[in-house]
């Protein structure tokens, strides 16, 4: 879960960097390496979100919202907050058992 949280944050940042290229804030010379990196992170995000969804027993709606957040700029911050709460909830449940 912690690994998914890290990948989620990095994937969100890479998406913002890609948008900076689109708006001309970063040179278009970097499109291929940035795009390839973002693509790899996106696929990893998708795989890890499915694993986390299965492990945490999230509903399909929760998973869809997590997935859709990967295509909305700055939504990774909301996902990060959600994942942080889930991690804290898991840690609390482990200490109670």
Domain extent, residue 62, equals 2-96
The total of structural domains in the chain comes to: 1
Dihedrals phi, psi of 70, to nearest 5 degrees: -75, -15
Task: Using alpha carbons, select from 71, 73, 51 the residue that is nearest to residue 63.
Answer: 51
At 83 the pLDDT is 94
Rounded CA separation 8/2 (Å): 10
Q: Give the single-character DSSP code of 72.
A: S
The model's pLDDT over 23-40, given as tens digits with 9 standing for 90+, comes to 989 888 989 999 999 999
- 82: exposed, middle or buried (Cβ count in 10 Å: 0-12, 13-18, 19+): middle
- 33: exposed, middle or buried (Cβ count in 10 Å: 0-12, 13-18, 19+): exposed
The model's pLDDT over 66-85, given as tens digits with 9 standing for 90+, comes to 999 999 999 999 999 999 99
What is this structure's pTM? 0.88
- Tell me the average pLDDT across 16-22: 92
What stretches of the chain show up as alpha helix (H) in DSSP? 2-22, 31-56, 60-69, 75-96
At 75 the pLDDT is 95
């Amino acid at each position: 879960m912690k690994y998914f949280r890290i990948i989620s944050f990095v994937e969100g940042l890479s998406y913002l960097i890609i948008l900076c290229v689109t708006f001309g804030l970063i040179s278009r010379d970097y499109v291929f390496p940035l795009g390839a990196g973002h693509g790899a992170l996106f696929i990893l995000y998708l795989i890890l979100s499915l694993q986390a969804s299965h492990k945490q027993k999230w509903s399909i709606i929760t998973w869809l919202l997590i997935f859709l957040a990967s295509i909305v700029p700055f939504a990774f911050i909301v996902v990060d907050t959600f994942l942080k709460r889930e991690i804290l909830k898991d840690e609390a449940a482990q200490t109670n058992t």
